[in-house]
Structure formats: C-alpha cells, structure tokens
C-alpha cells in the first residue's frame, strides 16, 4: 500500500517500544523492519534491488519489508516489477522533500543531485524506524556519517557491473553487507582490501530477470533493416567520449544514413546537463536514422541494448548488459588512454577500439560482423566472470537469502 511521506506518531511509538522492550527483555522476538531505498531522479537503479525486496518478503515472513521511493517514476517501475512476484507483501512508501526545495530543485539538479541529500534529511523518522536499509547506491551511507544512525544495518546491492575506476573506491567496503554481481568483484575488491570477511555475497544480476519478465520481444525502432548501433556515452567526463567525440559520432550518422543510431547516453549525462555540457543541436532531431533518448525508461531497462546490433561506447557498465547476447562492440578512446593493461578498461579487450571517429568509425562498423568471431568467446568468458549465472536459483532468490540470513543472524531473540 502507499503511505504518505513521514511516519505517524503511533509508528514512532511502536518503533521505540520494540527497541525498549527488546533491550529490557532480551528473550522477546520482534519483527525486523527492512527498508529498500530508491533515491534518484531516474529509474535505472530500481531493477537492481526491487527483486530482492519482493523475494525477501515472500521467503522471510518474519521481516516487514518496506520499499521507499523518492519519485513517482521510481514508484511506477517498482509496481510494474511487483507483478513478477505474486504473493509478495512489500509495503510501498513515498519519500518527499520540503515544498521550498521543490521550487529550486529544477535548477540545482542541472549541476548536482542535491535532492538526494534532502530526501535523507527530510525523512529521518522513517529511517530511524528501520532495523536495516538496503540500497543500490552509496549516498545513503550519509545516514550514518552525517545523521548519526549508527545502529542501522546498511546493505548495498550495487547498480553497475562495469570496470570503471569509480566503482571500486573506499565506499564499496563501507557497508555491513554487499551483494556482488559475480566473481570479478570478489577478486577486484578483494585485491583492493575493500571486502570485509563474511560481509558480502555473490548473488548475480536480478535486472536480467526483470528484463526477461517485462520485455518479451525485441523492439524495432526503424522502418528498415539497416544495422542498428547504440551509442552509450558515460556521464563521467574524465573518461567519457562525450566531450571529445560525441557530436562527431552524431555527425557521422547524420552523413551516413545507411546506418541507424540509437543515442542512449547514461541517464545522468543530460540530467546534469549544465555540469556535463550536454547540449544537442536541433539538426539531429530530424534525421530519420537517428533516435535520441536523453533518459527514458528504455535507456535503463535494456530495451535499447537488446534492440541494437552493435554497441558503441566508452566506460559504461551497460556494455555487459549488452553482452547478455554477445554482439560486436566498438569503444571510443577519446582521452588517448593506454588501456591495454589497465583493469578499468578490461571491457575494451572485447571489441574494436578507435581514436578517430571521422577516419575509423565507418570501417569499424563495416568489419564488425566479420571481426566478431575473434571476440565471441572472450565476451562469453567476461560475461560469466562478471555475473553469477547458474540456473538452479535466481539472482533475486540468492540475494534475498543472503540478506535474510545476514539479518536473521543479527535478529534480537
């Protein structure tokens, strides 16, 4: 059910009563409240954690599971995914921000996601009522570091499966439990000393299960059978191809109508358009062979990844989702990176790498199909190293069990 922002006094009193009685009478058995937080402007993080919530509610009746969303878009997708889990019993809650911040957010959001901080500080009563919080992003750790919720168990599900350096910093080891997509992250985070012993589990990638459940057919976006290339630049301009090459890529397809282009950048690129200098000339909007999507649900739910014949990008983790069905990849080296021995560019070994759009992109597309033979087995190995994929159970089930067992071991009894 949907609940308005904030908690009723009765809920607060009950939360206090639970903690007070369990402290005074340690033999009592109380239900744990487990929150799942989606705190972003866009929906791309939802499929990475919502399946765990629904499975946890089905498999562990001793937990009260609450899914909290900060936007209507996130809530809509949560409800859509819920249909795949009959019998789930999650409570749905909307988290809001003060009216005065809503007035300035359209301006602030072009530079930074200040709303994420405001959602946390404006709903502290809700977070205090929880025993554990599960989230696909790391910003929620401010509940501990800034807001003092030291006793709240924090669980991270991650929401990217790439190799980019930003996915392997100190924050990766700050949570009480982390769910990892596959062995690659055990090895990489372990080498960096960022994995706590007995504080992680390898679950897989529940987003694949959501995609298979909600997207039954491959979408066609063009009225011809020409090759479809999806261009997926990242928002991090220190490694993205957008500033050095993005408009050159679009110009190439404007001049070469024998190829179709889906321009589907990371959703943050245009959400923070002032910060990332993301601006498109009007001329591209009228090209029959170019589809521009600055951040719809199709950009996040793999619709474009499944619809394309060739992947064109830089460091986005979406390339591994594209490789759910191995196909040709082309990478844009816009920063003259010496990438061959750099683990943060490991995925560039799975396709062609070019440094000059005007001179190299056309030939790279032309030879993509023939060159795929050399990359096919490498792509399959990299995919299986990145994601746990066995069929005996689903990623959602494995993740829910990891969360359930972790919390049960810490349950007051």
Domains of the chain, start order:
2-205+391-408 (3.40.50), 228-386 (3.40.50.2000)
d(CA 86, CA 72): 22
d(CA 63, CA 47): 21
Q: Using alpha carbons, select from 249, 243, 250 the residue that is nearest to residue 285.
A: 250
Identify any residues that bridge with 202 across adjacent strands, giving them in sequence order: 180
Identify any residues that bridge with 313 across adjacent strands, giving them in sequence order: 232, 331
Grade residue 38 by pLDDT with cuts at 50, 70 and 90: very high
Half-sphere exposure (Cβ direction) of 64: Cα atoms closer than 13 Å: 12
Grade residue 144 by pLDDT with cuts at 50, 70 and 90: very high
What's the pLDDT score for residue 113? 65
What's the pLDDT score for residue 393? 95
d(CA 391, CA 71): 34
What's the pLDDT score for residue 59? 97
pLDDT tens-digit map of 233-264: 998 889 999 999 999 999 999 999 999 999 99
Give the pairing type, strands 290-292 and 260-263: parallel
Give the pairing type, strands 132-135 and 153-156: parallel
Q: Using alpha carbons, select from 411, 405, 412, 413 the residue that is nearest to residue 198.
A: 405
Q: Which of 77-91, 267-281, 296-310, 352-366 has the lowest mean pLDDT?
A: 267-281
Half-sphere exposure (Cβ direction) of 188: Cα atoms closer than 13 Å: 23
Distances (CA, A) of 29 to 22, 25, 60: 8, 10, 15
End-to-end CA distance of the chain: 29
Q: Using alpha carbons, select from 263, 250, 260 the residue that is nearest to residue 228.
A: 260
More confident residue, 300 or 288: 288
d(CA 188, CA 163): 9
Q: Using alpha carbons, select from 41, 193, 153, 185 the residue that is nearest to residue 106.
A: 41
Contacts of 116 (CB under 8 A, 6+ apart): 39, 40, 70, 139
d(CA 5, CA 101): 15
Q: Is the pLDDT at 10 greater than 50, yes or no?
A: no
374 Cα distance to chain centroid:
30
Q: Is the pLDDT at 217 greater than 80, yes or no?
A: no
Helix (H) / strand (E) element for 73: namely helix 72-82
What's the pLDDT score for residue 276? 61
pLDDT average, residue stretch 19-23: 42
Give the pairing type, strands 310-313 and 329-332: parallel
Cβ burial 304-316 (10 Å sphere, 16+ → b, else e): bbbbbbbbbbbbb
pTM of full prediction above 0.95: no
* Contact present, 77 and 297 (Cβ < 8 Å): yes
Centre a 10 Å sphere on the Cβ of residue 37 and count the other Cβ atoms it contains: 29
Residue 177 three-state SS: strand
* Contact present, 33 and 131 (Cβ < 8 Å): yes
Q: Is the pLDDT at 142 greater than 70, yes or no?
A: yes
Interhelix angle 395-408/50-59, rounded to 10 degrees, is 60
What's the pLDDT score for residue 271? 72
Centre a 10 Å sphere on the Cβ of residue 413 and count the other Cβ atoms it contains: 9
What's the pLDDT score for residue 215? 75
Grade residue 369 by pLDDT with cuts at 50, 70 and 90: very high
Three-state SS for 268-334 is HHHHCHHHHCCCCCHHHHHCCCEEECCCCHHHCCCHHHHHCCEEEECCCCHHHHHCCCCCCEEEECC
pLDDT average, residue stretch 2-21: 37
């Amino acid at each position: 059910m949907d609940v308005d922002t904030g908690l009723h006094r009765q809920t607060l009193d009950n939360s206090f009563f639970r903690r007070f009685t369990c402290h005074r009478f340690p033999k009592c058995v109380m239900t744990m409240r487990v929150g799942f937080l989606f705190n972003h402007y866009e929906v791309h993080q939802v499929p990475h954690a919502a399946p765990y919530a629904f499975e946890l509610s089905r498999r562990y009746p001793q937990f009260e599971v609450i899914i909290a969303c900060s936007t209507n878009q996130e809530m809509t997708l949560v409800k859509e995914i819920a249909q795949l889990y009959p019998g789930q019993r999650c409570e749905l809650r909307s988290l809001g921000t003060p009216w005065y911040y809503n007035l300035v957010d359209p301006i602030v959001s072009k530079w930074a996601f200040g709303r994420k901080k405001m959602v946390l500080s404006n709903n502290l009563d809700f977070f205090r009522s929880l025993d554990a919080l599960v989230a696909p992003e790391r910003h929620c750790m401010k509940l501990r570091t800034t807001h003092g919720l030291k006793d709240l168990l924090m669980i991270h599900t991650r929401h990217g499966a790439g190799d980019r350096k930003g996915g392997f910093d100190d924050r990766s080891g700050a949570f009480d439990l982390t769910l990892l997509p596959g062995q690659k992250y055990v090895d990489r985070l372990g080498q960096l000393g960022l994995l706590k012993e007995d504080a992680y589990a390898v679950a897989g990638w529940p987003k694949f299960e959501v995609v298979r459940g909600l997207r039954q057919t491959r979408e066609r976006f063009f009225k011809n059978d020409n090759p479809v290339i999806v261009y997926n630049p990242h928002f991090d301009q220190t490694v993205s191809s957008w500033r050095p090459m993005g408009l050159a890529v679009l110009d190439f397809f404007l001049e070469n109508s024998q190829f179709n282009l889906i321009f589907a950048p990371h959703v943050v690129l245009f959400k923070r358009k002032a910060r990332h200098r993301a601006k498109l000339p009007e001329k591209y909007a009228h090209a029959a062979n170019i589809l521009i999507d600055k951040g719809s649900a199709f950009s996040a739910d793999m619709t474009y990844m499944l619809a394309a014949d060739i992947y064109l990008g830089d460091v986005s983790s979406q390339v591994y989702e594209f490789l759910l069905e191995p196909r040709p990849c082309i990478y844009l080296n816009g920063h003259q990176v010496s990438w061959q021995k750099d683990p943060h560019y490991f995925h560039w070994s799975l396709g062609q790498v070019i440094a000059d759009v005007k001179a190299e992109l056309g030939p790279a597309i032309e030879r993509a199909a023939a060159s795929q033979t050399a990359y096919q087995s490498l792509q399959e190995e990299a995919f299986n190293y990145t994601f746990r994929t066995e069929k005996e159970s689903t990623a959602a089930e494995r993740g829910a069990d990891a969360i359930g067992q972790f919390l049960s071991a810490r349950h007051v009894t």
